Amino acid sequence: MKKTHILPILLLLFCVVNSRIVFAQYLAPRLSIHFSNPLSVLSKAGLKAQYRVSQENSFLLGYRWYWGFFPGYQVSAEFHHYFRSFEKSEAFFYGKLGFGNATYEPKPYFSGWETKYNSPGGYAFAAAGLGKRYNFGHFFIEGNAGLRFSQLVEKAEDYNRNLFYTTGPGSFVDLSLNFGFQFFDEERNMYRKTLGVHPPRRYR
């Protein structure tokens, strides 16, 4: 009789432990590295590290170099909330805070802008919007679009305000396209209906 009772208990314990291990692996924090769009390398380049704490939420730290008219740097912290998953992609909301510093370097091929403007200097910014991530095993492509508000830390006189807030680092439009590598297979994970918070559309 004792053996008859012990066997189901051992089987139950095995199933519980095994399910906890699989679930923990699936929801374990995961790291991704983002590289900025190579097509924008003539004016800027950047890197971001993403730490995914759950299926729905992740945090990112980024650093971007600018050259062209406004040489300088930009540091940012982001939060992504994934609200919908498909077979190979995910949609998310994002919010971003950051700061940077911009000088001004006139270009000889633009007449009239040689010595006319000063450097904007330090600035802070906040941005929010929507994005989508396409997963291909350990690789991904991610794009986002949103609005950004930038403010100079100290008042600057005679800087190229129009260029800084349109195509410069203080642009009111927050657009980016990144390529990256993730240290987990998100595409494979997204097929696990029983563990995923948002199962793929075809399984619903």
Confidence grade of residue 114 (pLDDT, cut at 50, 70, 90)? low
Confidence grade of residue 7 (pLDDT, cut at 50, 70, 90): low
Is residue 94 within 8 Å of 146, Cβ to Cβ? yes
Return the CATH number of 29-203, one of 3.30.70.1710, 2.40.160.20, 3.40.50.300, 3.30.70.2190.
2.40.160.20
Using the predicted structure, report yes or no on whether residue 184 has a pLDDT greater than 50.
yes
pLDDT band at residue 202, thresholds of 50, 70 and 90? very low
**One-letter amino acid of 165:** Y
Name the pLDDT band for 21 (thresholds 50, 70, 90): very low
> To which residue do tokens 């994934």 refer?
82
| Bigger pLDDT: 193 vs 155 | 155
64 pLDDT more than 80? yes
* The pTM of the whole model exceeds 0.85: no
What is the domain partition of the chain in residue ranges? 29-203
What's the distance, CA 116 to chain centroid?
A: 36
Helices (H), 28-76: none
Place of tokens 């189901």: 8
